[in-house]
Structure 1
Amino acid sequence: MSLQFINAEKRIHDTVIFSSFDLSITGGKIVAIYSSVNVREQLINLLLGKTILSHGELRMKENGKQQIGYFFLHDGLYERLSIEDMLKFTKRLYDSTMSVNDALVTVQLDAKRSVKTKNLSYSEKKRVQLACLLMQETSIYIFEEPDQNIDLESKRILLGIFQQLKQQNNSVFILTGNLESAITAADEVFRLDENGLHPIHTSSDAEVDASSESEESINTAESVLPVRFEKIPTKVNEKIVLFDPPEIDYVESNEGQSFLHIQGESFPSTSTLNDLEARLLPFGFFRCHRSYIVNLQKVREVITWTRNSYSLVLDNKDKSTIPLSKSKMVELKDMLGL
């Protein structure tokens, strides 16, 4: 009951979609991969058998039988059927032992069982899709952008089902372009791109508190050498997310709150902009404006708008534009030897 990528690599002509990586998703684990749309589409096509790896191996069978259920971004429901009829059809199709009533209760749609799917909201349709998936009773569940555009109640139901599948020792594999969604739902989160697979480190508040207590007890017992901590913490829901400095595009301060901007997403930081400046300086970051710190390795262009107005354009997917103050322009020119 596992899904394994072994030295998996995908290239299209001369373009590397993702470099060689190893990953094993076993029963009782929720694993998420955070990636671009292109990488995500290639992974789904590989899992469906529509394409093959350029190098390596993909294993996803148990006892010689493929047991995988898919939750695609597009629901694929029969809109002329009622919710109940849709589930009855799915039950017969997969010879499921799960009752239609149990499925309806799980996704909290028992009160709407007679409503045709075409008359449901988008979030309700996703819940029907989720109920149909549960009726397949597979061992491995693949989710493509499972919480995209759904309401809070549907998201709560979805997260509850993830935990239910985990407790039943099933494998859950989430593919998403939303890092916050990945961190909220999964036990382990990875970023996959042309440079390979990289873990995104997270920990719960309880783990952080326990770690702090442990460190305090150690410090009172003996003198220790200072350790340089090279990760920048942010908080997403109840999890602490740790980012490597090179991952950060820029840092912005807005109404006293600092935000890390990473691949088009924003994450709040508990540190002040001054504290972050001191920590990030050794990694090539530059205070370009009173409200901004930029990763100079990500800067592609310096634009002069007027005699006193400048901007930095970053080499990221959004081509972010960061203000550069006049005094910092002089300092930057000195740094660059201009």
Structure 2
Amino acid sequence: MVFTLRIEDAFIVQPNIWTLKSSGLDPIITEATNYEENSTETIPSKLKVKIEDKTIFVNIEDIEYIESHDGKVIIMIEQETFVNDSILSNAENTLKAHGFYRCHRSYVVNQHKVREIINWSKITYSIVLDNFNQDKIPLSRTNYTQSQDLLVKL
């Protein structure tokens, strides 16, 4: 057991932290604690999308990439386009555990669907997906090295 005045110091020592209150010891809930305790709830296997007047649920592993366009999140699965009422950062956070990463300010891509990276010039890059159309997704200069590192570790 470790006692400290600063919560930050406690996290360095161990992941399960308790705080002393007048009612007794209460656990401090963190994202890591929630993830461990509710891992099946935290990582969904399907995503809700809309097609016209219907709501359908798609398998996350089928998603190739997600694009932000005109305030909407557009989900690409094979040659189909779906719209999700969310923002790109929410979709990125939801899908990060499934191997998705933001390669550009307007795109989140499934690492498992990446085929290659093209260097058009010293400052222009694209990701080519392993799909029917071999879609080319812009890759930002700042994410170029990180993207290669992530793909090598798959």
On whether the aligned pair clears a TM of 0.5, the verdict is: yes
Q: In structure 2, how many angstroms separate the alpha carbons of the residues matched to 1:337 and 1:296?
A: 10
Is 1:317 matched with 2:132?
yes
2:106 to 282, 291, 314: 291
Residue 276 of structure 1: aligned partner: 91
Amino acid at match of 1:292: Y
Is 1:258 matched with 2:73?
yes
The size of the alignment, in residue pairs, is: 114
Residue 9 of structure 1: aligned partner: none
**Superposed, which structure 2 residues align to 1:197-236 within 5 Å?**
226=38, 227-228=41-42, 229-236=44-51
- Corresponding residue SS for 1:306: coil
Is 1:303 matched with 2:118?
yes
Residue 207 of structure 1: aligned partner: none
Q: TM-score, normalised by structure 2?
A: 0.69
Q: In structure 1, how many angstroms separate the alpha carbons of the residues matched to 2:143 and 2:57?
A: 29
Q: TM-score, normalised by structure 1?
A: 0.32
Query: Rg bigger for which structure?
Result: 1
8 Å contact kept, 2:73–2:88: yes
Is 1:240 matched with 2:39?
no
Q: In structure 1, how many angstroms separate the alpha carbons of the residues matched to 2:151 and 2:131?
A: 21
Q: 1:305 to 1:331 in 2, by over 3 A?
A: same
TM-superposed CA distance for 1:280, in Å, is 0.6
Q: In structure 2, how many angstroms separate the alpha carbons of the residues matched to 1:330 and 1:296?
A: 14
Q: In structure 1, how many angstroms separate the alpha carbons of the residues matched to 2:149 and 2:134?
A: 25
Unaligned runs of 5+ in 1: 1-224
- Corresponding residue SS for 1:280: helix
TM-superposed CA distance for 1:337, in Å, is 5.2
- Following TM superposition, where does structure 1 have runs of at least 4 consecutive aligned residues deviating by more than 6 angstroms? none
8 Å contact kept, 2:74–2:84: yes
Identity %: 38
TM-superposed CA distance for 1:333, in Å, is 2.7
TM-superposed CA distance for 1:238, in Å, is 2.3
Q: In structure 2, how many angstroms separate the alpha carbons of the residues matched to 1:336 and 1:245?
A: 18
The structure where strand makes up a greater share of residues is 2
Bigger relative CO (Cα 8 Å, ≥ 6 apart): 1
- Corresponding residue SS for 1:278: helix
Residue 331 of structure 1: aligned partner: 146
8 Å contact kept, 2:66–2:74: yes
Q: In structure 2, how many angstroms separate the alpha carbons of the residues matched to 1:237 and 1:336?
A: 35
**Superposed, which structure 2 residues align to 1:94-133 within 5 Å?**
none
Q: In structure 2, how many angstroms separate the alpha carbons of the residues matched to 1:291 and 1:303?
A: 18
Deviations 1:237-275 (A, max 9, x none): 222111111110100001111100011111100121000
TM-superposed CA distance for 1:334, in Å, is 3.0
Unaligned runs of 5+ in 2: 1-36
Deviations 1:26-75 (A, max 9, x none): xxxxxxxxxxxxxxxxxxxxxxxxxxxxxxxxxxxxxxxxxxxxxxxxxx
Q: In structure 2, how many angstroms separate the alpha carbons of the residues matched to 1:244 and 1:301?
A: 24
Q: In structure 2, how many angstroms separate the alpha carbons of the residues matched to 1:256 and 1:237?
A: 17
Deviations 1:63-103 (A, max 9, x none): xxxxxxxxxxxxxxxxxxxxxxxxxxxxxxxxxxxxxxxxx
Aligned-residue RMSD, C-alpha: 1.7
- Corresponding residue SS for 2:131: coil
Q: In structure 1, how many angstroms separate the alpha carbons of the residues matched to 2:126 and 2:52?
A: 33
